[in-house]
Amino acid sequence: MRLTLAGSGSACHVVRRSTFMALAAPVADAGMLNDWLAALRALHPDARHCPYAWLAPDGASKVSDDGEPSGTGGRPCLGALVRAGVTGASVAVARMFGGVLLGAGNLRRAYGVAATEAVAAAGTVHLCRWTQVHVEVGYERLAAVERALERVGAQDVERHYGAHATLRARVPVAAWSALGPAVSQARWKCEGETWGRGPGNRGAGCPRQ
């Protein structure tokens, strides 16, 4: 089973007058990560440090202590994501210094608490593999194909009408076999696979991976 964050979650943790503002969110790629971090830093211009961790959809990770002592900021953030079992997600913590040095141990705990609370506030949803499907079908079979696409949780359905009806949609890979009877008399093809949020909390056609 794969999970990602359901949305954005935030938390505030104060330790000896230092304020730790955490934000967690689904982040699919490095470009989104850079934009998201820039927006977070703009939201907290007084923050001296903004450590973060990111777990990519393929499980690769990226961490930064952003000027804090090594291992005190980014690693606790990564731990929060790992414990939640999510990928394609990031959590960052902006620290507003309160004038009191905390020491490495207190920093690790503070960043870890704030990150964990933000990840919990975001919640989780299941991920599944999707494929892009193109179906060309006669009008006498169109209604059956549309019902089958709806049944398996197809998304972003596009329709074009000419001599035949052409449908284009994203379909969960694990649900493709359920379309078999409906598309057996149609021309169809699948293009590529990507990971994405399942159609619903569990996701039709998204069994445990």
| CATH (domain of 183) | 3.30.70.240
The proportion of the chain whose per-residue pLDDT surpasses 90, expressed as a percent, equals 44
The proportion of the chain whose per-residue pLDDT surpasses 70, expressed as a percent, equals 89
pLDDT at 162 over 60: yes
Q: Residue 21 belongs to what H/E stretch? A: strand 18-26
CA 49 → CA 46, 82, 87, distances in Å? 9, 22, 24
Confirm whether 208 is domain-assigned. Answer: no
CA-CA distance, 5 to 90, in Å (whole number)?
9
Same structural domain for residues 182 and 93? Answer: no
Output 186 or 23, whichever has higher pLDDT: 23
Distant-in-sequence, close-in-space partners of 164: CB < 8 Å, separation ≥ 6: 136, 137, 138, 139
Token couple for 22 = 């955490």
CA 30 → CA 33, 62, 79, 201, distances in Å? 5, 10, 19, 26
Would you state the pLDDT for residue 188? 74
Local structure of 137: helix, strand or coil:
strand
Would you state the pLDDT for residue 207? 34
Q: What is the CATH number of the domain that holds 80?
A: 3.30.230.30
In sequence order, which ranges of 101-169 are alpha helices (DSSP H)? 103-122, 139-151
What is the rounded average pLDDT of the residues 48-69? 93
**Greatest mean pLDDT range, 86-95, 139-148, 164-173:** 86-95
User: Where does a domain end: 122, 155, 185?
Assistant: 122
DSSP string for residues in 40-77: HHHH-TT-SB--EEEE-TTS-EEEE-TTSSTTSSHHHH
pLDDT band at 206 (very low <50, low <70, confident <90, very high): very low
User: Where does a domain end: 102, 122, 142?
Assistant: 122
pLDDT band at 8 (very low <50, low <70, confident <90, very high): very high
Mean pLDDT of all residues belonging to the chain: 85
172-205 tens-digit pLDDT: 887 776 666 666 667 777 776 777 777 654 333 3
User: Where does a domain end: 60, 90, 122?
Assistant: 122
pLDDT at 92 over 90: yes
CA-CA distance, 60 to 187, in Å (whole number)?
38
**Rg of the chain on CA atoms, in Å:** 22
Checking 78-81 for CB contacts under 8 A at 24+ apart, the result is 78/53, 79/112, 79/115, 79/116, 80/24, 80/53, 80/112, 80/115, 80/116, 80/118, 80/119, 81/24, 81/53, 81/55, 81/115, 81/119
The answer to which of 22-31, 83-92, 96-105, 134-143 has the lowest mean pLDDT is 96-105
CB atoms within 10 A of CB 87: 23
The answer to which of 93-97, 115-119, 172-176 has the lowest mean pLDDT is 172-176
What is the rounded average pLDDT of the residues 103-117? 93
Output 182 or 149, whichever has higher pLDDT: 149
pLDDT at 46 over 70: yes
pLDDT band at 209 (very low <50, low <70, confident <90, very high): very low
Number of domains in the chain: 2
Same structural domain for residues 83 and 53? Answer: yes
